[in-house]
Amino acid sequence: MRKQVLIVGIVFIGVLALGLSFPAGTRPRPAERTDCVPGQVLLKFKPSAMLFQKAAALSLTRSRAVSRIVKLDVYTVQIPDDMTVDEMVGIFGRNSDIEFAQPNYIYRAAVTPNDLYFQYQYALFNKGQQTGWVPGSPQGLPNADIKATAAWEETTGQAGVIIGILDTGVDLTHPDLKNKIVGPGYDFVNNDADATDDHGHGTMIAGIAAAETNNNEGIAGVAWNCKILPVKVLDQFGTGNSVKIAAGIVWAADNGAQILNISSGQPALDSTIENALKYAFETKGVFIAAAAGNDNTSVYYPAAYEKYVCAVSATDYNDQRTVYSNFGWELDVAAPGDSIISTYPVALTPAGFPPYKNGDGTSFASAYVAGFAALIKSLKPSLKPGEIMDIIRYSADDVNASVYPGRDQFLGFGRIDMEKGLVPLKITK
């Protein structure tokens, strides 16, 4: 009886082993995983493996070596058509002559747009390059950026998310913006439905937040697919007043903007503006980013209305606070604001020059935050504006931690980091 049991057991294990190791050669190629080169496995034999052992390992598995990295002694092996990469990795892995076997993984570059001037946009991706096309432009510190290329792996935004640009208007015909604008907007300076920019500031803000991207032209915007709602509340000199700005906030909130950018301010409390912000934030669920101001003094209003507004100061290409940034405990975060290249109205650009311009200021820093907020809203539409603000705050890099650890009066929680705010955080033990 014991002998019978032994024989059946051996047959059983043998059938099992055959079934698992060498499936019939007639089956079609099984579906492959998509993260590696189909039909290929990388192998490294142990130094002790003799030539005949290597040949046997390949021939017994109906595989053949197609190339070899000589200095690493790693072979690229073509596997049989009826086997998957995982199956072959498993089979080779059981061979005691083989040091390792692995799929030939496919590597992809982080999302890099093909826009002409992207190479100068250190704020999005800083590898230490020159910050402008003018020879002698300063070079930045690698990684002093908002980690945009990594974040774009997760999302480049949704067209349904609209960023209201409350500023000097937007060039509605600009080649890098015309396809991104949801409509002519509204002009509260001239009281008409044509928010064309006659100053330039608003067009620069719009370009930073959401220029058309990956179109072989101009610059990359933070929120590639989100739309722009132009709201002209500042005149051709870049000035406005409480009434126009408050009316613009309410109009933008009522006309579909989920994100607002206000890159203007003044030092006094303004209850009219505060009421408009409250309406947009609490009643309409709008996220609002605003520039802290450029006078190296206390944070200006409306940025200083901390309950409703994400107040933004500016850093430079070395992750240092810019000397002009306003400061105070109302600050939430910082973003790059120095040597920022962006779109500029075609009508205001001298003939023969491209409609793009460099600028400095917390205005531009605020536009990065507005774009970031639009991406968060695109990915998680149910979030409330306060929650979006918290994500932006808590994911910021505390770049001045060596001097002011934690939240401080100069950079708030730190320079924004879109990767941390958007890409899933890997949680290990």
Partner 1 sequence: MPLKRIAAVVCFACLSAIIFRPVDVRAQDNEIGGIRIKPGLGVEYFSRTIVWDEGQLSSKLKTSIGFLRAEIELQKGFLLGLFGGYSLSNFNGTVFRQLPFSIDYEAGNIGCFFWGADLDKTLFSIDPYEIGVQAQFVMSLGRQKELAISGLNQTGSLNGKGRWQRAEIGPVIRYTGYEDFIPFLAISYNKLWGTFSMAETVQELTGTEEKTISGGGSIGIAFGTTFNPSETFNLKAEITALPYKKTGGGLDVDYGASIKAVVLF
C-beta of residue 354 within 8 angstroms of C-beta of residue 338: no
Number of shown-chain residues binding partner 1 (CB under 8 A): 40
Q: Per CB under 8 A, which of residues 118..157 are in contact with partner 1?
A: 154
Residue from 77, 150, 396, 416 touching partner 1 (CB under 8 A): that is 396
Determine the length of the chain.
429
The distance of closest approach from Cβ of residue 11 to partner 1 in the complex, given in angstroms and rounded to an integer, is 10
Residue from 48, 136, 271, 429 touching partner 1 (CB under 8 A): that is 429
Site string for partner 1, 161-200 (x = CB under 8 A): ----------------------------------------
Q: Does 54 bind partner 1 (CB under 8 A)?
A: no
Residue from 391, 400, 408, 416 touching partner 1 (CB under 8 A): that is 391
Is 201 annotated as catalytic?
yes
Between CA 95 and CA 105, with CA 99 as vertex, the angle to 5 degrees is 100
Q: Does 3 bind partner 1 (CB under 8 A)?
A: no
Q: What is the phi/psi pair of residue 203, to 5°?
A: -65, -35
Residue from 189, 414, 416, 418 touching partner 1 (CB under 8 A): that is 414
Between CA 186 and CA 177, with CA 208 as vertex, the angle to 5 degrees is 55
Residue from 320, 383, 404, 409 touching partner 1 (CB under 8 A): that is 383
The distance of closest approach from Cβ of residue 407 to partner 1 in the complex, given in angstroms and rounded to an integer, is 8
Pairwise CA distance, residues 213 & 16, whole Å: 55
The distance of closest approach from Cβ of residue 226 to partner 1 in the complex, given in angstroms and rounded to an integer, is 18
The distance of closest approach from Cβ of residue 12 to partner 1 in the complex, given in angstroms and rounded to an integer, is 6
Residues 6+ apart with CB under 8 A from 144: 122, 126, 315, 316, 317, 318, 319, 336, 399, 415
Is 48 annotated as catalytic?
no
Q: Does 290 bind partner 1 (CB under 8 A)?
A: no
Task: Cis check for the bond before 302: say yes or no (omega within 30 of 0).
Answer: yes
39: left (phi over 0), alpha (psi -120 to 50) or beta: left
Q: Per CB under 8 A, which of residues 292..351 are in contact with partner 1?
A: none
Nearer to partner 1, 339 or 395 (CB): 395
Q: Does 32 bind partner 1 (CB under 8 A)?
A: yes
- From the candidates 167, 171, 176, 270, which is the catalytic residue? 167
Decide: helix, strand or coil at residue 290: strand
Q: Does 421 bind partner 1 (CB under 8 A)?
A: yes
C-beta of residue 201 within 8 angstroms of C-beta of residue 134: no
- From the candidates 363, 366, 378, 395, which is the catalytic residue? 363
Q: State the sign of the Cα–Cα–Cα–Cα dihedral 348, 193, 250, 212.
A: negative
C-beta of residue 139 within 8 angstroms of C-beta of residue 317: yes
CA distances 362 to 210, 236, 400, 406, 418, Å, are 17, 20, 17, 21, 18
Decide: helix, strand or coil at residue 231: strand
Is 342 annotated as catalytic?
no
- From the candidates 171, 201, 338, 366, which is the catalytic residue? 201
**Catalytic machinery residues:** 167, 201, 363
Binding site for partner 1 (CB under 8 A): 1, 4-5, 8-9, 12, 16, 30-34, 84, 154, 379-380, 382-383, 387, 390-391, 393-398, 406, 413-414, 420-429
